[in-house]
Structure formats: structure tokens, C-alpha cells
Structure 1
Amino acid sequence: MALKQYMKTLSCPPGCNLLLDTSRFDNANSKLVDVLVNLKRIGQVSVPNTDENYAKIRQIIGNTINDPSVNKDLIIAAIMKTDAIRKRRGNSARNRSGLGDVFGGMDTGMDYGMDYEQYSKEKVTNKDFQANFTVDIEKEEKIFGDKSFGETLKDAEKLGAANNDITSIFPTAKTEEKSFEESCPKTDIHCAYVAYMENYANSLLNFKDFTQFDGKWMIARDKIAAALLHLKSSYKGKEVMQPNLDNFKNVCRKFVFLCGTKANRERSELVKSAIFIASEARADKDDLEIHLTDLFGEVKASPTISKDAAVQNRMLGADYADSVRITGSWRSLGIPSRVNGAESAIDYIREDNDVHSMHAAWHQINNQREPRDRKRERFFYFHNHMLLRIATERASNGLPAVQPMSNDVLHMEFSTEYNIRPENDPEGILDDYNSPPKTCRLTRNTQETLRNELRDLVRYKGLGMERFGHHCEQNYHADLHNLLMKDCDVGMLGYFAVSARPPIFYRIHSEINRVWHDFYSNQRYRRQDIYPPYGLTIRGITLHSRCGRVNQAETFWEKLGTHYKLNHQNFIFRIRLYNWRRLREKVIVRIFMGPQNARLENYFEMDRFVHQLDGNRLSEIRRYDKDSSFVFVKDQNDCGWPYHLMLPKGGDKRPIKYRLLVFVNDVHDQRVNVGTHPSLNNPMCGSNRQNMQNAGLELVDDRRDYGFPTNRRWTFNPVPIVNNRDRYFGYMSSIVNIVHTGEETDFCNQAYFR
């Protein structure tokens, strides 16, 4: 009784907790721990400091836990810390029974008293953490809740605590019967943390005035991500609970649920973005298994086959899920388009879900990827790669090149068409986005703002790529997105996950690409920059697939339920080298592809990797398509070019000729290791530091431009080299014939290649 009265005098009543009342809680906790550790005299009451007496006192405290006048959080924290201290002193009376035996007599098999030695073995540690306890809301409810154990467990399962799949970790508001306040009281440490972080997020931004392309939005996202990663309070940077996997899952799940119960899409996007970044930085990310598509469902918004086409297929004898009436063109598949006319011919790449997942992931994680001193250069290179891929598909489908949104056309009317209708979005994934008008004309204020931004950008050309790129991305690029979104009512331009779906996106980034090339206008490559190492000559590059002849490849439509996507038959590159000086050093290999007669700047990079020469005069490098350092690799990158789009679409049962180019160059450092391990892949997106640490590796990058050697002009004529007429370079190119077979076939039909 004396102890209960003493706790009421500690100035930390129910509702006072570690996050919202840090100083009061810490002060009360320290006083109570001091009493429990030493069993100090309280008033006229004193007891000997023995294990037996301490065990009895713990049991008595447990009997008062449901008293509304007692602070439950304070008692839990004090006992856990006391247990740890007494155990280190060698006088623990717990006998590993857990708090369940003390509070309510229920043995849950849970040990809340993790000591410092146990904690130091966790993957995430913090020596400055003083409280040394873990509070799990589901575990608490099972022990302290008013409901029975079975009823509480059902509620926990509803919230996803009893499942390991990602959809249960991140429920939506539609699946919850209770409000956030009912399901997650602020007296719980996880809920208190979420409530505080909600207020913190609101304080960082006025969500009506910012989009995801604004620099201030990105800063706010990164601040929230840092707090979530370490489970720290944002205002003092103080850790409020152990940053282990269970606590992280609990906080993230409740954070997403909170955003879902309150109609604020902008705040929800900010929070989910922060969760994605924090999860990628965790050492235990493989156990967490959070992928971008789990958080942002709108990346899965590709149109599906229409009901009319399905009915027609059944009338022709085809099953709805496995049509056999497939021809070569995309439009023949009966998939409704969101654009009219010829532009719909390339929906298979512009509307591909994996392209948008990649684009959204890049904007979320680029700032955290290695090498960090080249992240602005990656901004240009990544979007340049997207543009080159789109340009290649446009050319093969007879569409004109994309015109940049440059100063010369700002005053003109232009198309902004992108129609979202029930027939092309039957699941309502894009319900939150509007269909813009067919055409738009920018206001004079917008035109002047963009012209001023461009003039200002020119002044940064002499300050290096990173300074130039930062100013371009945060100002000119952001304004192109934001101002066109407002003037033309293209709301999708403000969100990473969907901004690349409307065709106007590619006009914006064609302008950014023009600016990037202009940065290099006075910088050119010399012969010694391009040539292979002295003593090494390229003897040829060829592509091999299931077809009996070299340089023949096939693409086809792959059907996944009601979706189609472009895919290709597996292939392998073979690169032959003549090493007449018998070199035994590392070289870096770059493979490009583009239309047969395209200019060098129109070739896209397919692979980049380091190769160790073995000293033999003749050698061959074999590189499989799935080994490419550019493609998406599960559990290593949420960002990477989709494997199924590695080859451009071929001609409809007729070949389209593409040219392969290979460049082999020396490296500035024999430790360079690009493309030698999955964690060291992905020049477009950078490498994940945590994945590299888990693999015991460190990225040593090649210091040439990301776009080398096609991003700058050459001081000499490249035509002889590209046409294999330079004896120092050798045979560095070959012509590849790619055929599109419509549906996938069982064998390679040579008649298509004639």
C-alpha cells in the first residue's frame, strides 16, 4: 500500500509516457527504479533487500496494474530496468518467468527483461539507450487487456501481428473496424510514438503547397525516415524504444493505419515513403521484406484486357485466361488505352508496372545509394536511360521523336491527354487521380518562371556535375513537374509512382536530357579516352539465343492473368578478345544497343561489369542476360530495369535490325568491382550500402561519366570504329535481328528472319 501511494506522488499519472512527457517520465522512472533496486524505506515501511522480498513486491505491483490511478507504462519500464540491474548485480529473483507470471499470473512465454548482454547481440544497438526495455502492444494486450486471451489474439491477428506476410503488416483502413484512436490508445508507447510523428510530419510541410518533387518534401521524408530507422523522437533525437524488428514493424504498421483512417493522401504518401527508406537501411531488411509495391499500390495500374476482347476470345474458342489469338501489335490484344491514336502503340512499355515501380523506387532511395557523391549525375543518367528506351520503341513503331518542353515551345498549345476511365482502370487503382484536359497552354507567369530557372541554371555549369545536377533537379526539373501539374491539371505529375504514365512526362524529361547534354557541350572524348588498353583488341561481340544462328533474338507477349507484358527468349553475349600482350589486369566492359543507323547518343546501355584478364592471347567473355548489372534483382534492389524489357520489341514476324556495341577500357584502380556481385550492380540506381555490408563488400566505382562514352561528342569521327574499320579498336559492333512472334512459340522459326 505504501508503494502504491508513493507511485502516485511521482508526478507521472496515467497518460504520462516516455515520448510525450520525456522529462517527467524519466524522473519518475529513475526514482521508482532506485526504490526497487535497493528496496529503500518508504515512509515507516522498510524490508530487507533480498530476492524473495523483491519477488513479492513485483507480484504486489502486478496486482495493481489495472488500477486506473496507476501509470502502467511507468511500472513496466521501472520493473524491466530494475530486473536488468539486479541481474547484473547477481540478485535476480525472476527465474526467467517473464512479466506474464507477475501481472495477472499468465505465462505467455515472453521474456520482457532483455538485459544489456542480450541486447548487444541484436543487429541494431544503441549504447546510449538508458531504459533498456521493449514494449510490444500485442504482447501487452494479451497480459493486461480487459479482454480474454482468445479475444485479444483475434484482434491482434486482425491487425496483422500474428502473420508474417507484408499485407498483414500494412493493413488498409478498409479492413479495420475500429478507428485508430480505439485500436491504438496513446497510453501505449508505439501509439504514442506514431501520434507524435504524425504531428511532426504535419509540422514539416503544408501538404497543399508541396509535391513529391519539391526539395522540402524530400527533406521532410528523410527526417521522418531517420526517426523511424532509429525509433528516436525528432525533437531531441532521443531513442524511445529498442530499434529492433518487432518494434519497427509495430510502429510502421500503425503509422500506415493512422494515415489510412484520415483522408490525407499527401501525408500518407510522405509517411509511406519514409517507411520504405527506413526499411531499406535496416540491417535486418531481409527479414522485414518491405517492397515498394506493398506500400504504393498505384504502381500496379497497367490497363488489363477488356471484357469485349475476352468475349471475342471465347467465341473464337479461346479461354479467358489463356488466349491463343495473339498477333504482333499491342493494340491487337484488346487492352484499352488511356491515350488515343498512334501513341497507344507503345503502351507496353510506357504503362508497364515494373517501369513505374523502378521510377518510384529511384526517387525514394537515390539519396541513400552509393556512391553518394554521384547521386545528381545518376539523376540525369537514370532518366536518360528511360528516354532512350522509349525512343527506341517509338522508332520501331513508326512514331516521331519526343519534342523537349524547351523555351521555344512554352508558348504553344500541347497535348496533355491521359484518360482514366472504368474500362482502362477496372480495379479503380487510379481513382485518386484526375483525367487532365486533352490540351494545355501554360500561363505567362509559368513561362517566365521556367525561362528564369533555365537562365539561372546556366550559371551552375562551371561548378561541377553535382552542383549543377542538384540545382537542376531541385529547381528547373521540380518546376516543370509542379507548374505543368497546376496549369494543365495533370495531378499525376506530382507523384513518383504514377508521374511517368502520361506522355507529357517524356516531354519534360527530354528537356532535362537536353540540359544534361548541354552541360557536356564543351567537353569531348579523345581517342585515348575511348580505345581499349594497349595490347588488347576486340575480336567481336555476338548474341546467342535458342535460334541456331548468331545474332538472332525473339520477343513475345507474355500473358499474366488479364495482363500482358513484353518478354524475350533468353540470350547470352559472347565477347572475344585478342590479348597479344598477355595482360593480367582488370578491364571494364560496357555493352550498348540501339537502332542500326542511330547516332551514338541514341544507344542505351545494357550491361556494365569488370572482367579480370587471364593472360591468355585469346579469350572469350560470356555474359548471360540475367547477369546484367542493370536489371532488377530480387532482395538486392527495388530499383532496376525490368528484365522482361531488356530487349526492344522486334518486328512483327519480321526482323528489325539493331546494332550491338562493346567498349573495353582499363580501370583507374584494380579494386574497381562494378557488376561483379548483385550488391554491386545497378549503375542507374546505385548500390545499397546495407546489402554490401551484409555481403562483406565495398563498392569501388569506375570514375568515368555514367554515360561514357556516348554522353559527349568525340574529337574524331566515330563512324570507322562503329563500323569495325579501326584496327586498334577491332570488331566492336555487330548487327542483331530481333523478331516479335506474337504469342510465345515452342521453337525458333527461321522463316521470320528472312
Structure 2
Amino acid sequence: MPITVPKDYTASDLEPEHRLWYFREDVGINLHHWHWHLVYPFDGSDAVVRKDRRGELFYYMHQQIVARYNFERFSNNLPRVQRLNNFREPIAEAYFPKMDSLVASRAWPARPSNTRITDMNRELDQIRFDVNDLERWTDRFVEACHQGFVMNTNGQRVTLDERTGIDTLGNIMESSQLSINRPLYGDLHNMGHVFISYSHDPDNRHLESFGVMGDSATAMRDPVFYRWHAYIDDLFQEHKQRLPQYTTQQLDYSGIRVTGVEVQPKQGPVNTLQTFWQQSDVDLSRGLDFNPRGSVLARFTHLQHSNFEYRINITNNTGAQAMGTCRIFMAPRNDERGTPMFFRDQRQMMTEMDKFTVSLNPGNNLMRRNSTDSTVTIPFERTFRNLDRNRPTAGSQNEAEFNFCGCGWPQHMLVPKGLPGTGLPVDLFVMVSNYQDDRIDQDLAGKCNDAASFCGVRDRKYPDRRSMGYPFDRLPRTGVDSLQQFLTPNMATTQITIVHTDR
């Protein structure tokens, strides 16, 4: 008999933030975050840490988490998350995890409302930092973005250019041995997590361990995670906003036109996505510190959506066979007040849904793509797989591939919840870019390359030469105030609706 995990085990509807329980406390989402940080650690041998565009991927994966979280907030009639940009103010949000730590056999500590971050001096943990350190590292990071260069340990300037600047900044923000100057730029992202995770006992006088923000396997459960990362993303935007805007020539694909796009669910009207609740069982016996006689199943409730298909009409007027990269994003059409969003705001809420290569014959082409083929997600079975079953030999190449395979956004969370009744109005965006400007020449042999957008490809280059988040990673060109004004002929949008059924 499975143990049922109740939907409301951490809070009640008296707490507005609890409306997002299904996102923050989703087992699959937390597994993705934990697995990503396993695949891209900030400490270890150089061969393990030095991966292609690691710093940029840190920026982009977390930027997408914040964008998706805001999408979910709009799906629950909540405003965008407020940045945690003042380290001296109390943290209004509380979090009481109601979980036991499997390592220490102790309950994870809670953080009451209006807890303050204070200077840390935890002698046994060898942690001694002041809040001033966070403020100092922030100032140096912003100064580097404004000046357009960072200083290395030899006192030399290293330019933050269009191609590698974001990668350099990402490796500074989540400090690792790849940081260009650790003594100068510090360890802002990681130490922010540490400060928050010890805010309930900063000097260890109560002998309390760190809270959920101190562990990548649990951090996304806490509402303050998203406030912290909204602030981190805002710092990255200081760099992105100073890059040259994409010109129409950099966005267009001469001779290629996207003439129509629609979404067809398996059931229901066209351009309407359906979400609902689903209960699933997961075997937790591997995580228990005693040997059960059989499976120990937990039954949990999670968001789910009906599968659907993209249908994209593309006209190739080049007179020859052409290759392109199809990029699919979506974002809320209206802001918290129900008014149409300015493009400058909407572009930062564009969530990547899929990205794939298309071969275009001369004339008209109808491209069909199933939602389950997304290059963002991995299937439910792989998210919750048994890591002991069919495990390759320890130390082998197959084991390294097996370990990488769990990295990816869970398929059941691909579509935001939406709203009941008339639904949440959404802009779906499709672009076909020139494959010759996108391609990376490399062998992609092996398995588990299907979630490359957030996880890259193991021991290979990131399989897209463009900046991550292209074409929405920079400010729009002058005169563009709406998504329609942003479009070039190789782009198209359609208005869709996400309808949630509370059953």
C-alpha cells in the first residue's frame, strides 16, 4: 500500500505563497535542480568542472526557472516574484518544510516569517562571513557589467564580449575554480544560499543545521529561492542589457517564412492546452536508512497536461533544400493587472518549450512535432527511475552516461497550470533560424541528448552556437514595444489558452 503524501502538508491557504505548492514541492522539479548541480558541480577536478559554456548554462537554466515560476504565479492570480535585493530587510516569507533529513535523521529546520540575514560565525562548520561580503561582491559584479570587463588575478582586463562574457560572469556568480578572480569577485550565489539557510541560527548557538536553501536537492521548495534567483538574474541582465540589440539581419532567415502555427491537443479544441492533477507512485526504498522487505511507495499529486502537437507551416522560397533550427517559446500575454505586457517585460518571461532541426523542401512545408519530444524535458519514467536497476559497471563509460541521464525538466511540468474557466491567455512564438549560423560540428552519439536545452550534452559542446535564450536574451531594437513589432518573416506567433481543471 502506498503512503499518500497530502497536497497541503507544508501550509494552508492562509499563506498565499502556498498556492505554488505543486511547483515548489514537485519531486521531479527538485530532482532536476539537484541533478543539474551534480552534472555541473562548482568543485572537483578540472575535467569534471570545466564543461563547455558552464557559466552561461548556469545563468540560463536558472533564468528559465524564474520565468516559469512567474508563469505559475500568473496561473494563481499572484504578481511576479519580488527580488531579494536588500540583504538588510527581513525575509517576509516563512517556510516550514515538514521533512526529515535522511542524512542527519533530524528534521529540516524552519524559517519563520520576517527572519533576517545576519553575519555568520559558525566555528564548527568553518563558516565566517559578514553580510557586507554579499554587498561588496554584488557591487563588484555590477561594476564589471557596467564597465564591460573583469579583472583577472594578474590585474589584467578581460573583456565581457557578446560571445563569452555571460559565460565568464556565470562562472563568477556561481564561484568555482573557473572563476576568473575568486578573491576579488567572491562567491555571491552560493553564499547567498548559505546565509539564508543559516538565518535561523547564524552562530550555531542552538546547534541547528542548515535549512532547505543549503541543499540543491531541496532548495527549490522554499519561496525565497525564487526571490534570490530573481535577484541573481537581475544582475546578469545588467550585462545582457549592455550588449548590442539584435538587428533584423541577425534575426531573419532570408527566403524562409513561417506562415502559420497552431497547437492541437489530443482531445479538445485547437490552440487550447488542458492541465489537471495526476497521482503517481514513486519508490522511496533507496532513500531509507533501514532495509525494507520490498518497495516503499509514496503516492504524490502533481500537475499534468494533455499531450499535444505543434503544427507549423513554413515556406521555403530559396529554391533549394534548406536547414533550419525551429525554436518554440511561450509567455503570458497579459501582466498581473490583466493588461497586455510590454515586450521588454514579456521577453524575460519567454519559457523555452522546444528546439529542433528542420529540413525544408522548396515550397510549402508542414512540420509536426509532438510535445513529448521536447528538448527541455525528460520522460516521467527517467525522472523517477530506479538507480540500482540495470546500473552499468562502476567507473565505466556507460555508468557516466547513465548518471547524466537524469538531468532534464520533468515532462509533466512542461506546461504551466493555467487558469480555470476561460483559461490563461498565452502567446506562443515559433522561429526558424539559419542552421548554418546555429550548427556545432560534433558527434552526438550516445543516449540522453534529449534535454540539451537546460542540460547540454555530456562531454560535448552545447549543441547550439547561438546565445542561450536567443532571440529573447537581449533588449529589443529601437521602436519594438510589442511581440508583433519584434517579428521578422521567419517568425510567427499565435494566441493560445491554458485551461486548468481542478480535478
TM over 0.5: yes
How many residues are aligned here? 399
1:426 shift after superposition: 12
1:335-368 Cα deviation digits (max 9, x unpaired)? 3234751111111111000000000001111257
More strand by share: 2
Aligned match of 1:559 in 279, 292, 296? 279
1:569 shift after superposition: 0.6
Contact 1:540–1:732 (CA under 8 A) maintained in structure 2: yes
Tell me, in whole angstroms, the C-alpha distance in 2 between the residues paired with 1:723 and 1:590: 17
Matching residue of 1:413: 90
Aligned match of 2:464 in 702, 705, 712? 702
Matching residue of 1:468: 169
- Is 1:394 the counterpart of 2:73? The answer is yes
Contact 1:594–1:660 (CA under 8 A) maintained in structure 2: yes
1:387 shift after superposition: 0.8
1:724 shift after superposition: 7.4
Which runs of 4 or more aligned residues in structure 1 lie more than 4 Å from their structure 2 counterparts after TM superposition? 367-371, 424-430, 669-678
Contact 1:609–1:673 (CA under 8 A) maintained in structure 2: no
Larger-gyration structure (1/2) = 1
Tell me, in whole angstroms, the C-alpha distance in 1 between the residues paired with 2:224 and 2:38: 22
1:419 shift after superposition: 1.5
Matching residue of 1:496: 216
Matching residue of 2:423: 655
Tell me, in whole angstroms, the C-alpha distance in 2 between the residues paired with 1:509 and 1:519: 16
Query: The residue matched to 1:388 in structure 2 has which SS?
Result: helix
Matching residue of 2:366: 620
Query: The residue matched to 2:278 in structure 1 has which SS?
Result: strand
- Whichever residue aligns with residue 740 of structure 1, its letter is H
> Identity across aligned pairs (percent)?
25
Gaps of 5+ in 2: 42-46, 120-128, 150-157, 159-164, 176-186, 202-209, 282-298, 335-340, 383-401
Matching residue of 2:253: 533
- Is 1:577 the counterpart of 2:314? The answer is yes
Tell me, in whole angstroms, the C-alpha distance in 1 between the residues paired with 2:50 and 2:366: 30
Distance change in 2, residues 1:731/1:466 (3 Å)? closer
- Is 1:403 the counterpart of 2:82? The answer is yes
Query: The residue matched to 1:647 in structure 2 has which SS?
Result: coil
Query: The residue matched to 1:684 in structure 2 has which SS?
Result: helix
Tell me, in whole angstroms, the C-alpha distance in 1 between the residues paired with 2:62 and 2:101: 30
1:460 shift after superposition: 4.2
Tell me, in whole angstroms, the C-alpha distance in 2 between the residues paired with 1:674 and 1:733: 33
Query: The residue matched to 2:329 in structure 1 has which SS?
Result: strand
Tell me, in whole angstroms, the C-alpha distance in 1 between the residues paired with 2:375 and 2:113: 39
Task: Tell which has more relative contact order, 1 or 2 (C-alpha 8 A, sep 6+).
Answer: 2
- Is 1:442 the counterpart of 2:117? The answer is yes
- Whichever residue aligns with residue 663 of structure 1, its letter is M
1:560 shift after superposition: 2.4
Matching residue of 1:364: 38
- Is 1:723 the counterpart of 2:484? The answer is yes
Matching residue of 2:494: 734
Matching residue of 1:309: none
Q: Where do residues 289-688 of structure 1 align in structure 2 (5 Å cutoff)? A: 304-305=5-6, 335-338=8-11, 341-367=15-41, 372-406=51-85, 409-421=86-98, 431-443=106-118, 446-461=130-145, 462=149, 463=158, 464-474=165-175, 475-489=187-201, 491-528=211-248, 530-560=250-280, 562-597=299-334, 598=341, 599-614=346-361, 616-633=362-379, 634=382, 637-667=405-435, 668=437, 678-679=448-449, 681-688=451-458
Contact 1:369–1:686 (CA under 8 A) maintained in structure 2: no
- Whichever residue aligns with residue 118 of structure 2, its letter is T
Contact 1:381–1:706 (CA under 8 A) maintained in structure 2: yes
1:353-412 Cα deviation digits (max 9, x unpaired)? 000000000111125789923000000101111111111111121112211121xx2221
Contact 1:629–1:675 (CA under 8 A) maintained in structure 2: no
Output the TM-score relative to the length of structure 1: 0.49
More helix by share: 1
Contact 2:433–2:490 (CA under 8 A) maintained in structure 1: no
1:699 shift after superposition: 5.3
- Whichever residue aligns with residue 473 of structure 1, its letter is E
Contact 1:350–1:500 (CA under 8 A) maintained in structure 2: yes
Contact 2:429–2:494 (CA under 8 A) maintained in structure 1: yes
Tell me, in whole angstroms, the C-alpha distance in 2 between the residues paired with 1:681 and 1:442: 36
Contact 2:439–2:463 (CA under 8 A) maintained in structure 1: no
Distance change in 2, residues 1:601/1:399 (3 Å)? same
Tell me, in whole angstroms, the C-alpha distance in 1 between the residues paired with 2:223 and 2:4: 15
1:436 shift after superposition: 2.1
Query: The residue matched to 2:130 in structure 1 has which SS?
Result: helix
Contact 2:52–2:462 (CA under 8 A) maintained in structure 1: no
1:731 shift after superposition: 6.0
Output the TM-score relative to the length of structure 2: 0.72
Tell me, in whole angstroms, the C-alpha distance in 2 between the residues paired with 1:581 and 1:372: 37
Tell me, in whole angstroms, the C-alpha distance in 2 between the residues paired with 1:700 and 1:494: 28
Tell me, in whole angstroms, the C-alpha distance in 2 between the residues paired with 1:651 and 1:571: 18
Query: The residue matched to 1:679 in structure 2 has which SS?
Result: coil
Gaps of 5+ in 1: 1-301, 306-333, 690-697, 744-754
